[in-house]
Amino acid sequence: MSNINYDFIIEYISSMQPDLKGNLKEIEDYGKENNVPIVTPIMHRFLEFILSIKRPRNILEFGTAIGFSSILMSKYASGKIITLERNERMRVVADRNIKEAGLEDKIEIKFGDAIENVKNLDEKFDIIFIDAAKSKYQEFFDVSYPMLDDGGIIIADNVLNKGDIAKPIEDIERRNRTIHRGMNKFIENMLNDERFETVLLPFSDGVLLAHKKEVE
Ligand SMILES: C[S@@+](CC[C@H](N)C(=O)[O-])C[C@H]1O[C@@H](n2cnc3c(N)ncnc32)[C@H](O)[C@@H]1O
């Protein structure tokens, strides 16, 4: 099983999603044809659901790929989206897709290592979406936390890594053990961080949601 849930349930829910708007369908198709990982249909509806409630000003995204999720999220942000990507091939395609959608003034791609680029930002964000290297989630959190507004939300995708994260480490191939340790530590830290209300949810590839409490 490649998913953490039953395939027939995922197919059922995915088939019930409304049609994608603008150039998102083309981008999704390009992703499938070229094996570019983008948010699943269930995750993308979940993002839209959360953002339709939160109505953020600025969003920070770790992992642009070809721009699917940043274009999707841009509809809900009144300010801007800063999205971080280190792969040149991805950056070029994302740039083209963002321009085609007419969103070049709203979505800014910062090219290079995400952690280095975040250090140079001085914006504040209401949403931080983490969807990049699984071995670095804790570092992504640490570097971006000071920029998260009170009441802001962290959304981290793929935190269960096809279920591996929930298995004992002895059952994990040696080359994947760093991710296993790092992600387990990140999840444990977040669930015990009293500055946040945090929940770990078993859909998509595992999603962690953390709401930063308002200062009283
Ligand atoms: C899962 S894809 C992002 C998918 C995108 N959020 C979407 O749903 O449309 C992850 C991307 O993160 C990028 N990435 C991974 N680690 C990174 C890092 N340390 N800095 C910048 N980009 C990184 C990869 O090159 C890859 O394109």
pLDDT of residue 176 exceeding 70: yes
Compute the average pLDDT of residues 185-213: 97
State the average pLDDT over residues 73-95.
Answer: 98
Q: What is the whole-number distance in angstroms between the Cα of residue 18 and the centre of ligand 1?
A: 26
Given this model, what pLDDT does residue 2 score? 63
Q: Tell which atom from ligand 1 comes closest to the C-alpha of 61.
A: 6
> What is the rounded average pLDDT of the residues 109-127?
97
Which residues, other chains included, contact 63 with Cβ-Cβ below 8 Å and sequence gap of 6+? 83, 84, 85, 114, 130, 131, 132, 133
The answer to whether residue 215 scores a pLDDT higher than 90 is: no
Q: What is the dihedral of CA 4, 31, 61, 76, to 10 degrees?
A: -100
Ligand 1 pocket mutation pick from 26, 32, 38, 86 by most atoms within 8 angstroms of CB: 86
Does ligand 1 come within 6 angstroms of the Cβ of 134?
Answer: no
The pLDDT of residue 180 is: 97
Single-letter amino acid code for the residue at 58: N
Q: What separation in Å is there between the alpha carbon of 62 and the centre of ligand 1?
A: 6
Residues of 14-45 as b/e, b for ≥16 C-beta within 10 angstroms?
eeeeeebeebbeebbebbeeeebebbbbbbbb
Residue of minimum CA distance from atom 13 in ligand 1 = 63
Atom of ligand 1 nearest to the CA of 129: 6
Q: pTM for this structure? A: 0.97
pLDDT at 39: 97
Percent of the chain with pLDDT strictly greater than 90: 97
Q: Which residue, by CA, sits nearest to atom 4 of ligand 1?
A: 38
Alpha carbon of 105 to ligand 1 centroid (Å) = 21
189: pLDDT confidence band, cut at 50, 70 and 90? very high
- What kind of fold does domain 7-212 have according to CATH? Rossmann fold (3.40.50)
Whether 92 lines ligand 1, by a CB cut-off of 6 Å, is no
pLDDT band at 214 (very low <50, low <70, confident <90, very high): confident
**CB of 87 sitting under 6 A from ligand 1:** yes
Looking at per-residue pLDDT, the higher value among 29 and 215 belongs to: 29
pLDDT tens for 32-67 read 999 999 999 999 999 999 999 999 999 999 999 999
- What confidence score (pLDDT) does residue 17 get? 92
